[in-house]
Amino acid sequence: MPSDGAPDPGPEYPGLLAWPQEALEESFVALGGRHFHARVAREQLLGKGVLDYDSMTSLPARLREALKTEIPLLSGTCTRRVEARDGTTKLLLDFPAHETGKGGGVEVVHIPPLGSKRGQGATLCVSTQIGCPVACPFCASGLDGLARNLQPHEILEQFAQGRALGELRRVVVMGIGEPLLNFENLALALEQVHEHMGLGARKITVSSVGFPERLHRAARTQPRFQLAISLHTPDDDQHDELIPALRGTPIDEILAAGDDWFQVTGREGTYEYVLLGGTNDSPQHAERLVGRLGGRRATVNLIPYNSTRGLGYHRPAPEDVEIFATLLREGGLVATVRHSRGADGAAACGQLRMHS
Ligand code: SAH
C-alpha cells in the first residue's frame, strides 16, 4: 500500500497482459480511469500493436501518466531486432526469471508476404518455451535444453510485438520450444488472440513432434488451431535418433494420436519433414513414408535443412528435394516444399537461438 495516500493499484503483475481482466479494471479505476479503459488498453496492445502508453491516445492523458508508473505494459524486453533482406524480421525478446525457472531469450519472427501480396498481412512465428527439451540433433533451439515454459502473457506479448511490425494474417507456433509440453499456457494465450486479434482456428498452426498421450488429451479440448506433426522419417529407429524425446515411441502411435486430432478438427493431416542430405532424403525414404501414411489424405511439408553451425548435417540438392516431393505425390500425398525465409538473419526454421 503506497504511504502517500495514492490509490492502491492492487497486486503486482509483470505486464498488462498478465493481469486478470477484473483486477485490471479495478486498478484502472483506482488510478482514475474507467472500467472499460482496461479493455481499450488491452485491445490497443494486442489488436493494434501499440507498445507504449503514450501512444494510446484513446485513454485520458492523466490515466496514461499514472499507468506509466504503476502498471508495466510489457514484461519482456526486446533486446535485438534483425531484418533479413527479404523483409523477414526477427526479434529477440528477453523474459525475466519466474517461479517456474530461469529467464532467457526467445525469438519471434515476422514474415511478410513476398512480391505482389505485400500489404496482405504477414505470418508470425511464435515461441512457447525458453529453450527446448526435445533435443532434435538438427535444430539449434534445443542446444541448451529447457529453461522454462513461457507464461500465457509472455506468449501474448510476442503477438503484440509482431503486430507492431504490421498486420498479421497467419500465425505459426513454430518458434522455440515444443508446444504440446506447454499446452495449457498456449491455449490460454490463443483464446485471447482469437478474441482480440480476430485470428481464427484456420489461421493458426501449431507444430509439434506429437507426444501421443498429450495429443489425445489436447484433441479433447476442442482446440482452436491446426496441427502439424513433425515426423522427419518413416523409420522407427531413425525417429528415435532425430527426435530423442520420443525415443521408444512407435511412429504408428504418433500417427494414430494425430488422426484423433485431425478427426476432431475436421482437417486433413499435415506432417513436416526436414530433409537432411544423405540422412532421410533417399527415394526409399520417400517410398516408405508413402507406405507409413498410406491411405491418409495428408499433406507433407518438406523443409530442406537450414544450416545451423556445427550440427553436422547438410541441405540436399534441389533435384533430390524435387525427386522426393514427386515420389510423395505419386504415392497420393500432397507435398509442398517450404522455401526458406529470413536465412540471412538466422531466422529460418531451426536457426532460432543462433545469435547471428
Ligand atoms: N518444436 C516444434 C516446432 C519446431 S519448428 C516441432 O518440432 O514441431 C518447425 C519445424 O522446423 C519443425 O518441423 C522442426 O523439426 C523444423 N526444423 C528444426 N530445425 C530445422 C533446421 N535446421 N532446418 C529445417 N527445419 C528445421
* pLDDT in the model for residue 1: 43
Q: What pLDDT does 222 receive?
A: 82
- Closest to 39 (Cα-Cα) out of 25, 50, 53, 49: 25
| DSSP sequence for 36-97 | HHHHHHHHHHHHH---SGGG-TTS-HHHHHHHHHHS-S-SSEEEEEEE-TTS-EEEEEEE--
Catalytic residue list: 107, 349
Cβ distance 330 to 308 under 8 Å?
A: no
List per-residue pLDDT tens for the chain, 356 residues long. 444 555 555 568 999 999 999 999 999 999 999 999 999 999 999 999 999 999 999 999 999 999 999 999 999 999 999 998 888 999 999 999 999 999 999 999 999 998 766 678 999 999 999 999 999 999 999 889 999 999 999 999 999 999 999 999 999 999 999 999 999 999 999 999 998 898 988 999 999 999 999 999 999 998 889 999 999 999 999 999 999 999 999 999 999 999 999 998 888 899 999 999 999 999 999 999 999 998 898 999 999 999 877 778 999 999 999 999 999 999 999 999 998 777 776 666 666 666 53
- The conformational region for residue 229 under phi > 0 = left, psi -120 to 50 = alpha, else beta, is beta
pLDDT of residue 354: 60
Which residue's CA is the closest to the ligand 1 atom numbered 20? 350
Q: Whose grid coordinates read 507406405?
A: 291
Compute CA distances 316 → 177, 303, 346, whole Å: 25, 10, 19
Whether residue 109 has its Cβ less than 6 Å from ligand 1? no
Pocket test for ligand 1, best of 128, 183, 241, 274 (most atoms within 8 A of CB): 274
Give the distance (Å) from ligand 1 centre to CA of residue 347.
12
What's the CATH number for 16-70?
Answer: 1.10.150.530
Among 164, 168, 166, smallest CA distance to 44 is for 164
Distance CA 342, CA 88 (A): 5
Q: Which residue(s) pair with 347 in the sheet?
A: none
DSSP 157-193: HHHHHHHHTS-EEEEEE-SSS-GGGGHHHHHHHHHHH
Query: What atom of ligand 1 comes closest to residue 208's alpha carbon?
Result: 8
Pick the CATH number of 77-345 from 2.40.50.140, 3.20.20.70, 3.30.70.340, 3.40.47.10: 3.20.20.70
- Determine whether the shortest distance from the Cβ of 107 to ligand 1 is under 6 A: no
CA of 303 to the centre of ligand 1 (A): 8
Residue 207: CB within 6 Å of ligand 1?
Answer: yes
Ligand 1 contacts CB of residue 306 (under 6 A): yes
- Nearest atom within ligand 1 for CA of residue 351: 22
Pocket residue to mutate for ligand 1, from 303, 308, 338, most atoms within 8 A of Cβ: 303
Output Rg (C-alpha) for the chain, integer angstroms.
Answer: 22
Question: Which phi and psi (to 5°) does residue 96 adopt?
Answer: -75, 170
What residue segments make up the domains of the chain, in order of their start?
16-70, 77-345
How many angstroms is it from 75 CA to the middle of ligand 1?
27
